[in-house]
Amino acid sequence: MTGMFGVSIQGLSGQLLVGLLNGSFYAILSLGLAIIFGLLNIINFAHGAQYMMGAFLAWIGMTYLGVNYWWALLLSPLLVGSFGMLLERGMLKRLYKLDHLYGLLLTFGLALIIEGLFRYRFGISGESYPVTEQLAGGRNLGFMFLPKYRVWVVVASLAVCFGTWYVIERTKLGSYLRAGTENPALLQAFGINVPLMITLTYGYGVALAAFAGVLAAPIFNVNPVMGSNLIITVFAVVVVGGMGSIMGSIVTGLGLGLIEGIVKSGMIANLLSATFDSVPVAGSIVYPIKLLFSPEASAVTVFVIMAIVLLVRPAGLFGRER
Partner 1 sequence: MPPLKMNAAAWGLLVVSGLAAPFLVYPVFAMKILCLALFACAFNLLLGYTGLLSFGHAAFLGAAGYVTGHTVKVLGFQPELGILAGTAAAAALGYVFGSLAIRRSGIYFAMITLALAQMVYFMFLQLPFTGGEDGLQGVPRGKLFGMFDLMQPLYMYYFVFAIFLAGFWVIYRTIHSPFGQVLKAIRENEPRAISLGYDVEKYKLTAFVISAALSGLAGSTKTLVFQLASLTDVHWHTSGEVVLMTLLGGMGTVFGPVIGAIVVVSLQNYGANIGEFVTVITGTIFVICVLAFRRGIVGELAVLFKK
Nearest to 306 by CA among 209, 235, 230: 235
Nearest to 51 by CA among 85, 26, 71, 20: 26
Minimum separation from the CB atom of position 308 to partner 1 (A): 10
Element (H, E) at 96: none
Rank residues 167 and 304 by Cβ distance to partner 1 and give the closer one: 304
Minimum separation from the CB atom of position 220 to partner 1 (A): 18
Alpha carbon distance 252, 258 (integer Å): 10
Rank residues 229 and 275 by Cβ distance to partner 1 and give the closer one: 229
Interface ranges with partner 1 (CB under 8 A): 37, 43, 91, 94-95, 98, 100-102, 104-106, 108-117, 119-120, 228-229, 232-233, 235-236, 238-239, 296-297, 299-300, 302-304, 306-307, 310-311, 314-315
Rank residues 5 and 108 by Cβ distance to partner 1 and give the closer one: 108
Minimum separation from the CB atom of position 37 to partner 1 (A): 8
Minimum separation from the CB atom of position 33 to partner 1 (A): 10
Rank residues 250 and 306 by Cβ distance to partner 1 and give the closer one: 306
- What totals of helices (H) and strands (E) does the chain contain, helices first? 13, 2
Determine the angle formed by the axes of helices 9-40 and 172-182, rounding to 10 degrees.
70
Name the phi and psi angles at 222, rounded to 5: -80, 105
Rank residues 261 and 316 by Cβ distance to partner 1 and give the closer one: 316
Minimum separation from the CB atom of position 94 to partner 1 (A): 6
Minimum separation from the CB atom of position 313 to partner 1 (A): 10
Minimum separation from the CB atom of position 318 to partner 1 (A): 14
Q: 204 Cβ partners below 8 Å, 6+ apart?
A: 32, 35, 81
Rank residues 218 and 227 by Cβ distance to partner 1 and give the closer one: 227
For the chain, strand residue ranges (E) read 138-140, 145-147
Alpha carbon distance 297, 225 (integer Å): 21
Rank residues 58 and 236 by Cβ distance to partner 1 and give the closer one: 236
First to last CA, the chain: 51
Alpha carbon distance 27, 193 (integer Å): 29
